[in-house]
Chains A and B, each alone.
Chain A
Amino acid sequence: MYMMMVVALGLYACHPDPVVEAAKEIQFEIPKGWPQPVYQFENNPLTVEGFELGKKLFFDTRLSRTNTISCGTCHQQFSAFAQIGHDVSHGVDDKIGIRNSPPLFNLNWHTRFFWDGGVNHLEVQPINPIQNPVEMDENFGNIIQKLKNDADYPKRFAAVFGNDSITSQRILKTLAQFMGMLVSSHSKYDKYMRQEAGGEMTTAELNGLQIFRNHCAACHKEPLFSDFSFRNNGLKPSVVNDSGRGHVTLQPSDMYLFKVPSLRNLLYTSPYMHDGRFSTLEAVLNHYATGIYSSATLDPLLSNGINLTPQERKDLLAFLQTLNDEEFIRNKRFQEQR
Chain B
Amino acid sequence: MKKFVGVLLLIVLFSMGCRKKDDPKPPVTNPPSLSLSFKNMVGSDTLTLETASYKNAHGDTFNVSMYKYYISNIVLTKEDGTTFTDTNGYYLVDAEKPLSREIKINNIASGSYTKIQFLVGVDSIRNVSGAQTGALDPFYGMFWDWNSGYIMAKLEGTSPQSPNVSKQFVYHIGGFNGPDNVLKTVELSFPNKAVVVSSSHTVIQINSDILEWFKTPSTVSIFNFPGAMNGGKPARTLSDNYADMFTVQSVTTTIE
Given A6-B10, A13-B14, A140-B137, decide whether A44 and B130 contact each other with a Cβ distance below 8 A.
Answer: yes
Cβ of B143 under 8 Å from chain A: yes
Cβ of A197 under 8 Å from chain B: no
Residues of A within 8 A of B147 (CB): 118-119, 248
Closest chain A residue, CB of each to CB of B14: A10
> A293-304 toward B: CB 8 Å interface, digit per residue (1/0)?
000000000000
> B118-150 toward A: CB 8 Å interface, digit per residue (1/0)?
000000000111111100011100010111110
Cβ of B83 under 8 Å from chain A: no
Residues of B within 8 A of A173 (CB): 130-131
Cβ of A48 under 8 Å from chain B: no
Residues of A within 8 A of B132 (CB): 169
Closest chain A residue, CB of each to CB of B18: A14
Cβ of B98 under 8 Å from chain A: no
Residues of A within 8 A of B137 (CB): 140, 167-169
Closest chain B residue, CB of each to CB of A128: B145
Docked Cα-Cα span, A128 to B128, in Å, equals 15
Cβ of B253 under 8 Å from chain A: no
Cβ of B17 under 8 Å from chain A: yes
- Choose one: A10, A118, A122, A132; the contact of B130 (CB below 8 Å): A122
Docked Cα-Cα span, A132 to B10, in Å, equals 64
Closest chain A residue, CB of each to CB of B130: A123
> B140-167 toward A: CB 8 Å interface, digit per residue (1/0)?
0001011111000000000000000000
Residues of B within 8 A of A240 (CB): none
Given A118-B148, A140-B138, decide whether A168 and B133 contact each other with a Cβ distance below 8 A.
Answer: yes
CB distance from A5 to the nearest CB of B (A): 11
Cβ of A131 under 8 Å from chain B: yes
> B4-42 toward A: CB 8 Å interface, digit per residue (1/0)?
000000100110011000000000000000000000000
Given A169-B133, A172-B130, decide whether A141 and B146 contact each other with a Cβ distance below 8 A.
Answer: no
Q: Give chain B's interface secondary structure class.
A: loop
List A residues 14-66 near B (Cβ within 8 Å).
14, 42-44
- Choose one: B148, B180, B232; the contact of A121 (CB below 8 Å): B148
Give the bracket for the number of chain B residues in contact with chain A: 20 to 34
B130 A124 Cβ-Cβ under 8 A: yes
CB distance from B148 to the nearest CB of A (A): 4
Cβ of A176 under 8 Å from chain B: yes
Closest chain A residue, CB of each to CB of B138: A127
A132 B128 Cβ-Cβ under 8 A: no
Give the bracket for the number of chain A residues in contact with chain B: 20 to 34
Residues of B within 8 A of A279 (CB): none
Cβ of B230 under 8 Å from chain A: yes
Residues of B within 8 A of A44 (CB): 130
Cβ of B89 under 8 Å from chain A: no
A124 B148 Cβ-Cβ under 8 A: yes
Closest chain A residue, CB of each to CB of B148: A120
Docked Cα-Cα span, A129 to B67, in Å, equals 26
A119 B145 Cβ-Cβ under 8 A: yes
Residues of A within 8 A of B18 (CB): 10, 13-14
Q: Among A13, A124, A128, A168, find the residue whose CB has the most chain B CB atoms closer than 10 A.
A: A124
> A239-258 toward B: CB 8 Å interface, digit per residue (1/0)?
00000000010100000000
Known: A123-B130, A168-B139, A173-B130. 5 other contacts (CB 8 A): A10-B17, A120-B127, A124-B143, A132-B145, A250-B230
Q: Residues of A with Cβ closer than 8 Å to B?
A: 6, 10, 13-14, 42-44, 114, 118-124, 127-128, 131-132, 139-141, 167-169, 172-173, 176, 248, 250
CB-CB nearest 4 A-B residue pairs? A123-B130, A172-B131, A169-B133, A120-B148
Q: Residues of B with Cβ closer than 8 Å to A?
A: 10, 13-14, 17-18, 127-133, 137-139, 143, 145-149, 180, 230-232
Q: List 8 A-B contacts (CB under 8 A).
A: A10-B10, A10-B17, A43-B129, A118-B148, A119-B145, A124-B138, A168-B133, A248-B147
